[in-house]
Chain A
Amino acid sequence: MEELLRVTNLKTHFFRPDGVVRAVDGISYTLNKGESLAIMGESGCGKSVGVMSLIQLVRKPGRIVEGQALFEGRDLLKMGKEEIRQIRGHCIAMIFQDPMTSLNPTLTIGKQITEPMLWHNYAGRQEARERAIKLLAAVGIPSPWQRFTEYPFQFSGGMKQRVMIAMALACEPRLIIADEPTTALDVTVQAQIIDLLRRMKEETGTSVLMITHDLGVAADFCDKVMVMYAGRVAEQAPMDEFVERPCHPYSRGLMNSTLDLGRLKGRLDPIPGAPPSLLNPPAGCRFHPRCSEAMAVCSEKEPELVEVGPGRKVACWTAEKEGCKN
């Protein structure tokens, strides 16, 4: 498989008056063409900042301090303003979490889908219009030629998310970044949107980076998973292996705090404690204060991300010593 994206040692820090917040602190991963990668973790662990860094959309006082993100051989992080603008929406498109607030209330749906195509000289006005109507039909919006001239407030949440997907697909991007695309939707609509995303992915062959904290959605949709904790990678694995036996204690914690309807457990096991402050992360392994398997070494030295199997990497001392147990 051909490699599309290779991120190496990406570090994005926020330089605040009270100190440096290391929101993303050295993450590396690769994504092949047509593949989908789930990035999982708790709120505030650096998932969103990590992907926003790829298209240089980190808000002040955040700054990418180090790293490389090779997208088809070109480093996204080194690109100039105009160069990266041409990448955004054209080669890499985004789908945002909340469709209710992600559409401009003063522009018609049609304009919002066609404009990126015009910005990127992807198509002429007439072609863009035709393509937009086609896309609206493809994402399952009934009577698209009519909806084309309507405004966002005339759409329901699920319909807006379909529109967002149509917008993202407009310029045939090679990579779609979906930042919790189903979090703001209710469960029945979630399933439809995931189905739609899968269909679009299969039809167009784009790769997908999906940020989510919904393990069910991730397991359903993605080929690979990367678990982040406190700005660092805890574990990377192919999805089916990960679901079978998560390796990092934190990953197991995530699993245990997820409802499993097939195996009616009495209760959920939440991970005790709260994520650490990224202003002043704990020494050693950042997860050790909350880890039930912590050893002496965990509070002293930070574990490296080591390979424990094909396509599997874990940053944990227990795994380093005895491989992946359970």
Chain B
Amino acid sequence: MAEQEAACAPHSGLSPAPAKAAGRVRGVSRWSRAWRKFKRNKLAMAGATVAIFLTIVAIFAPWIAPYPYSESHWDHAWEPPSWKFPFGTDELGRDMLSRQIWALRNALIIALMAEVVTFVVGSAIGATAGYFGGKIDNFLMRFTDIMFAFPSLLFNIVLVAALGRGLLVIFIAIGVTRWTGLARLVRGQVLALKQMEYVLAARASGATGWDIILRYLLPNAAGPIIVTLALGIPANMMVESALSLIGMGVAPPMPSWGALIATYQNAVLSYPHLLLFPAATFAITLLSFTYLGDGLSEALDPKD
């Protein structure tokens, strides 16, 4: 800055700051309002409780699972549920409870990391397109259209087939096919928000483009973004299971719900626990995350 002190006359007449009160009261943010609304929604709270429980189980899987996921108990093969093996055992005598805990862990890691990829790619492309507009917008959105039109499961299969069946490859593969929806959403939000008076006001007080994107546009679009991301978690789990179902998911002996369900669908009459337990735990996981997402979308809805 050139003439910092020259012409900006110092303020002399401003009244002195009043003495600070003893206690400082914090403002009620929209987050605490949303939380209050969320708490009233019983289904969402149930979903959130189960989802948190499942997440803790997934994080501590190595300590919680009673047996290693690939340990065989040869004298206990094909056993129905018992005290020793609460969900029974499979054809190799492996504990099905432990395998499902590990399946949960894999599904959650993949779903969450794929959402991280979705968030980074989707919001970066959407925000850039919406903010700059014009040719950049046109180019990025046509690219998004192409990615959207691509059959995503096929794309996942190709990627996994080419790069291997590691966790990293799978979540990146899912992430790069699922960001298009978020990119469109963020672009729409940014287009609407950048017309807001407060964005102009920020610009008029010297905000840079980054200040505006990071402090004004994205936070104001946070509600819909969070909802989309939350509802994306169960969707990603479905994709992961679909990949496992056709044998393109995590490599065995690492368990996956899709693989468990696919393997034992023929054994449903003779050994029903091998299909029913994975199907039930999978369904509960999906439902809990879906209700959590629905609850969030209701709590963060600005039209209340």
A residues with CB within 8 A of B: 4, 33, 55, 57, 72, 74, 85-91, 93-94, 96, 98, 101-108, 115-116, 119-121, 130, 133-135, 137-138, 143-146, 149-151, 153-154, 164, 167-174, 202-206
Contact = CB atoms under 8 A, between A and B. Distances in A.
Interface stretch (B23-31, B62-70, B100-108, B158-166): B23-31
Given A57-B200, A96-B197, 11 more contacts: A89-B204, A89-B207, A96-B201, A101-B196, A102-B201, A104-B198, A115-B205, A135-B14, A143-B21, A146-B24, A168-B205
A137 B27 contact: no
B253 interface: no
Contact of A134 (B8, B14, B21, B28): B14
Contact of B222 (A55, A74, A106, A164): A106
A143 B27 CA distance: 13
Contacts of A174: 7-9
Interface stretch (B143-151, B212-220, B229-237): B212-220
B197 A93 contact: no
Interface of B: 1-3, 7-18, 20-21, 24-30, 196-198, 200-208, 211, 215-216, 219-220, 222
Q: Which 9 A-B residue pairings sit nearest by Cβ, starting from the closest?
A: A89-B205, A203-B13, A89-B206, A150-B27, A106-B219, A101-B197, A94-B204, A116-B205, A88-B206
Nearest to B20: A145
A55 B201 contact: no
A134 B17 contact: yes
B219 A119 contact: no
Contacts of A206: 9
B21 A85 contact: no
Contacts of B220: 104-106
A37 B14 CA distance: 23
A48 to B, nearest CB: 11
29 contacts: A55-B204, A85-B207, A88-B206, A89-B206, A89-B207, A93-B204, A102-B197, A104-B198, A104-B219, A105-B30, A105-B198, A106-B216, A106-B220, A115-B207, A115-B215, A121-B1, A134-B14, A134-B16, A135-B14, A145-B20, A149-B24, A151-B28, A164-B201, A167-B201, A167-B205, A172-B10, A202-B13, A203-B12, A204-B14
A177 to B, nearest CB: 8
A120 B206 CA distance: 8
B204 A107 contact: no
Given A94-B204, A121-B1, A146-B24, A102 B16 contact: no
A13 B24 CA distance: 51
Nearest to A136: B17
Contacts of A116: 205-207
B27 A149 contact: yes
Nearest to A204: B11
Contact of B17 (A98, A133, A154, A172): A133
B287 to A, nearest CB: 31
Nearest to B31: A106
A249 B235 CA distance: 69
Contact of B204 (A88, A153, A203): A88
**Interface-central residue, B15, B27, B204, by most chain A CB under 10 Å:** B204
A169 B25 CA distance: 25
B205 A154 contact: no
Contacts of B27: 108, 149-151, 154
Nearest to B29: A151
A281 to B, nearest CB: 27
Contact of B198 (A72, A101, A137, A168): A101
Contacts of A145: 18, 20-21, 24
Contact of B11 (A93, A120, A121, A172): A172
B197 A98 contact: yes
Contacts of B17: 130, 133-134, 137, 144
A194 B197 CA distance: 22
B216 A88 contact: no
B203 A57 contact: yes
A262 to B, nearest CB: 33
A30 to B, nearest CB: 16
Nearest to B219: A106
A88 B204 CA distance: 5
A102 B198 contact: yes
A119 B14 contact: no
Contacts of A98: 197
A137 B204 contact: no
Contacts of B24: 145-146, 149
Contacts of A133: 17
Contacts of A173: 8
B3 A72 contact: yes
A74 B222 CA distance: 41
A149 B205 contact: no
Contact of A119 (B9, B12, B208): B208
Nearest to A133: B17
Nearest to A167: B205
Contacts of A120: 1, 206
A103 B198 contact: yes
